[in-house]
Structure 1
Amino acid sequence: MHTNQVLTETISIAASPGTVFDLVSDPRQLPRWAPGVARSVRPDGDDWVLSNGENEARITVRASREHGVVDLLSAQDRGQGVFTRVLPHGDGAEYQFTMFLPADAPDEAIAGQRAVVRGELDTVRALCEEHG
């Protein structure tokens, strides 16, 4: 059994689930809402290569509009990455973001990662709400 720590954050967005899905399922949009992960993005076959200016990472995007699933996974290990859901909520949407951290991750590192994720989700909300 894995003993990874789980970080899950959710944000309410006053925009349609389709608007949220369109933003978060398009890897080319990552520099707009997650610049620490990707300052630039380029397709590579069925995968995407993200560069943050220091490192590159290859991801696979697993998305289903019907189910509201948008997972951004390591192309080398599809059990690693972020698992997200776009859920309808009244006239808007909820965007749920889950990632797994090592069991031995220090509390300060988890708090730092949580702050980064909250900032990214705030940006997703702002981008989606400006486009309705």
Structure 2
Amino acid sequence: MATMATRIIHTSIARDWREVYAFMADHEKMPLWASGLSSGLTRDGDEWVAPGPLGNARVRFAPDNDFGVVDHLVTLESGLKAHNALRVVPNGDGAEVMFTLLRQPDMSDEQFAADAAWVEKDLAALKSIMESDQESEQPAERTVHR
């Protein structure tokens, strides 16, 4: 397969990167900001199941880690697999969240632009949640070793 076109979509969040990572890595909270998962996620062994218009997608997440990696592999019922590279890194006292959008084969310019706009909207929702009243929006405790 030829190398796919990519677009790195990112946002800065005025919150400690470890807190952002803990929130992002809590898979049960992903539907709060990742609109493609708005129907929710159900755990099934090492994977999660996300219902959607194309059937149930199976999602396998990177294990908890110290590097801010929230990558996930989505497998559609058709067998199509999409690797979603999602990272959070320190940016001063805050965080930088980056999603690498890969242009899938046979995807039109319009579809690629629409996917990018969708990711931008999701990252804006994440930013809004994380920067809102931090007292009431504290993410669940997760251990991040440093």
Give the alignment's TM-score, normalised by structure 2: 0.79
Q: Which has the higher strand share?
A: 1
Identity of aligned residues (%): 31
TM normalised by structure 1 equals 0.87
Instruction: Please say which of residues 115-124 and 3-12 is displaced more in the overlay.
Output: 3-12
Give the counterpart of 2:118 among 116, 119, 131: 116
Helix, strand or coil for the counterpart of 1:111?
Answer: helix
Q: Which amino acid aligns with 2:97?
A: Y
Classify 1:67/1:24 alpha carbon distance in 2 versus 1 (closer, same or farther; 3 Å): same
Pairs aligned (count): 131
* Cα distance in 2 between the residues matched to 1:7 and 1:108: 14
Equivalence map 1:1-132=2 (5 Å): 1-52=1-52, 55-74=55-74, 80-130=82-132, 131=134
Whether the 8 Å CA contact 2:9–2:101 is kept in 1: the answer is no
In structure 1, what residue type is equivalent to 2:50? L
The aligned amino acid for 2:84 is: V
Answer yes or no: is the 8 Å Cα contact 1:38–1:51 preserved in 2.
Answer: no
The 3-state SS of whatever aligns with 1:126 is helix
